[in-house]
Structure 1
Amino acid sequence: MLNYIYPITKPRPIDNEHGVTLNNDQSHGLAVYKLVVADSSDFDALPSICQVTYPDPNNLLRFILTIAPDDGYYRGGSFKFSFDIGQNYPYEPPKVKCTQKIYHPNIDLEGNVCLNILREDWTPVLNLTSIIFGIIFLFASPNPSDPLNKEAAKVLNSNAKTFTTNARQTMAGGTINGVQYDRVLI
């Protein structure tokens, strides 16, 4: 039999700096929100090839990152990624998806992104800017050794010229092996 020395009570409400009483869940949500506000202050230092927009300006936990690479295989394209930050941030990474169907070794046809810091290498010391720079790097240097799109990785490994042709064709909205890709050229 368990004997409790202290009586079990409901969590006490917490007053925030504005005098509003919050329960523990709301307080945690406020902490996540404040952390995201701090993280997003770094967005001003992003390179000019990036733009962050908020579909709902009242919700900083969901935003769209647009990357328009100015060199490499994907030069001339405009690629959009949705970020969905959960209540366990920074202990869990945000959910990041490419919103367009693109031909890339590290992005599958459903928009999932193969970036180690979004999976096993995530730690709470990383932030949103770390993820954004990771995605920029995937466009500058696709990684065929850790692919989500195995077909694109195989072509990149075997023939860079064919990969370049395929990337250009698909960015224009073309079809490769029966798969229609979204037009992303600007």
Structure 2
Amino acid sequence: MKKIWSMKQKVAQEEAANVGPKKKRVTAAQLRVQKDLAELSLGSTMKTHFADPDDILNFKLTIDPDEGMYKGGRFEFDFKINQNFPHDPPKVKCTQKIYHPNIDLEGNVCLNILREDWKPVLNLNAAVVGLQANRSITEANIGMQFLFLEPNASDPLNKEAAEDLKGNREGFKRNVRVSLGGGTVRGQSFDRVLK
């Protein structure tokens, strides 16, 4: 019995001598996100930012559209990825209040690929850039980048913006411009997002 006790003490002393930062266990979600981030093809209009470089499951994506109605704006999205990724899609939220049919006033994003059309075979690139090789996914191919090129009035979160887009495209464009500058549209004040 004494021998077992002394062996336990020896092991404890050896472990204490090798004191140092213990390596955290890498999860399957972290491995997949790391792979997806390495394969991410961001154009010149998009950048990722990591508040904590050790936390790759939470990051920001900035989009600076260089064409379309939202040209000249800078939009920031929070990406939160849970430990069940890729079985669960990333949670994406716009950090600014903007006038957009597919983004509500709280920043929730309505994008099929982030909801019912998400599949574990899809990756972050599909969510961010959009054009996934699988052509059988129709509207799900529209990713974050295309959210600003072609807003979708048929699947809105902001119903007023969608009605404007459907009923009066030129009026919608004017409202977008006013909102980008931090103006008020339909009694609602928006964040200034012009660069």
TM-score tier, shorter chain, comes to 0.7 to 0.9
For residues 22-171 of structure 1, what are the structure 2 equivalents within 5 Å?
Answer: 30-43=27-40, 45-133=41-129, 134-171=143-180
CA distance in 2, matches of 1:148, 1:107: 6
For residues 48 and 67 of structure 1, what CA distance do their matches in structure 2 show?
9
Name the SS of the counterpart of 2:27 in structure 1.
helix
Write the letter of the residue equivalent to 2:174.
T
Q: Please give the secondary structure, in 1, of the residue aligned with 2:194.
A: coil
**Which digits, 9 at most, give the CA deviation of each residue in 1:40-99, with x for residues without a partner?**
0123x2111100010111110000000000011100000000000001000000110000
Quick one: distance in 2 between partners of 1:155 and 1:34? 43
TM-score, normalised via structure 2 length: 0.80
Question: What CA distance in whole angstroms lies between the structure 2 residues aligned with 1:76 and 1:149?
Answer: 21
* RMSD between superposed Cα atoms in Å: 1.4
Does the 8 Å CA contact 2:45/2:63 hold for their aligned counterparts?
Answer: yes
CA–CA separation in structure 1 for the residues paired with 2:23 and 2:75:
42
How far apart are residue 21 of structure 1 and its match?
9.2
Which has the greater radius of gyration? Answer: 2
* Structure 2 residue 173 is matched with structure 1 residue 176: no
Corresponding pairs, count: 161
Displacement over 6 Å in runs of 4+ = none
**What TM-score comes out, normalization by structure 1 length?**
0.83
SS in 1 for 2:148: helix
**Alignment-mate amino acid for residue 77 of structure 1:** G
Give me the whole-angstrom Cα distance separating, in 2, the residues matched to 1:65 and 1:106: 17
Given that 2:27 and 2:83 are in contact with CA atoms closer than 8 Å, whether structure 1 keeps it comes out as: no
